[in-house]
Amino acid sequence: MGKRYFNGLKTGGLFVVLWVVLLGIGSVVGGGQYIWIFAGLGLIGTAYGYWNSDKLAIKAMHARPVTEVEQPAMYRIVRELSAEANQPMPRLYVSPTQAPNAFATGRNPSNAAVCCTEGILHLLDDRELRGVLGHELMHVYNRDILIGSVAAAFAGMITAIAQMLFFFGGGGNSRDNPLGVFGMLAMVLLAPIAASLIRMAISRTREYDADEDGAALTGDPMALASALRKLEAGTKARPLPQDAPLENVSHMMIANPFSGAGMAKLFSTHPPMDERVARLEGMARANGQLF
């Protein structure tokens, strides 16, 4: 048996911490009398992001739908894997960028889309592409689009509340605020950072799960491992520009699309490639596919 990483449990624990941060910063405002308003706004933001996740991602990548005549290998692989998983066939898109990457989005398996860039289609062979598409389909089947939308909405709401507190104050005077002036200032400055770090940690746990579950779907962990090695070099050679629309959907992609340095591991929505490859190699070894 392969090593168990309890990614689902970790994701649940991180969401609990996000709720604590959201409700904690809400309690600062007006002595807590608006706390449920902020919780409600968080839920509204979640619903909007979840419902429109496919449109936002496809638009940000300038992707277009493709036919089976245009992309026969992509259609064949996705059709086979969807049938293996007993799930409906998603819509398929291609983005006209040479930066190698792929992502899946959509509310559920019946309203899903899988997108590959031209760069990844040129970079990978069919076996490696199958590994990548298995990973992307498992994001849909594991409801990771919902999880990512919830995390993004929470982080955005916490940041918006903190900015409001910074500019307008948190409740009139220190008697309304159980933390006092300095406590409120600390909350305003630290809460958005904490929320962003938690969101990124949630994204990393979902990537590990999609790697493992996608490799199980294809039955070929080493195909995905080989693809990830190529993608690590490819995304460094051809990173995407760090503009707002792309940053908002970057967590959906199989590889970090931006060049990083310094504290990139801490502030990345993706786990380090060497750790992902090592886990896949361990899975292959446990399956008797690697010695």
Whether residue 211 is contained in a domain is answered as yes
**Cα–Cα distance for residue pair 289/66, rounded to 1 Å:** 35
Nearest to 146 by CA among 114, 104, 191: 104
C-alpha span between 127 and 256 (Å, rounded): 21
The answer on pLDDT for 3 being more than 50 is no
Percent of the chain topping pLDDT 90: 43
Catalytic residue among 128, 136, 207, 232: 136
Q: Is residue 260 part of a domain?
A: yes
Query: Predicted confidence band at 177 (pLDDT cuts at 50, 70, 90)?
Result: low
Considering 16-25, 114-123, 256-265, the range whose residues carry the highest mean pLDDT is 114-123
Instruction: Please report whether residue 18 resides in a domain.
Output: no
Residue 182 lies in a domain: no
More confident: 256 or 265? 256
Give residue 247's pLDDT band: very low, low, confident or very high (50, 70, 90).
confident
Better pLDDT: 205 or 149: 205
Nearest 10 degrees: Cα torsion 232, 238, 242, 244:
-90
Compute the distance between CA of residue 155 and CA of residue 152 in angstroms, rounded to an integer: 5
**123 domain-assigned:** yes
In a domain, 133, yes or no: yes
Residue-range definition of the domain harbouring residue 226: 51-159+191-286
Name the pLDDT band for 214 (thresholds 50, 70, 90). very high
- Total domains, the chain: 1
Q: Is the pLDDT assigned to residue 139 strictly greater than 50?
A: yes
CB half-sphere exposure, 137, CA atoms < 13 A: 31
**244: pLDDT confidence band, cut at 50, 70 and 90?**
confident
Tell me the pLDDT band of 2, cut-offs 50, 70 and 90.
very low
pLDDT value of residue 20:
72
Per-residue pLDDT averaged across 209-225, rounded? 96
Would residue 275 show up in a list of annotated catalytic residues for this protein? no
Task: Return the closest-CA partner of residue 254 out of 204, 192, 182.
Answer: 204
> Considering the domain boundaries, does residue 25 fall inside one?
no
Which residues, other chains included, contact 92 with Cβ-Cβ below 8 Å and sequence gap of 6+?
A: 65, 66, 71, 74, 75, 78, 113, 114, 115
Distance CA 88, CA 110 (A): 6
**How far apart are alpha carbons 270 and 201 in whole angstroms?**
8
Domain with 61 in it: what CATH number? 3.30.2010.10
- Write the CB contacts of 238 (distance below 8 Å, at least 6 apart in sequence): 98, 99, 100, 119
Query: What does pTM read for this prediction?
Result: 0.78
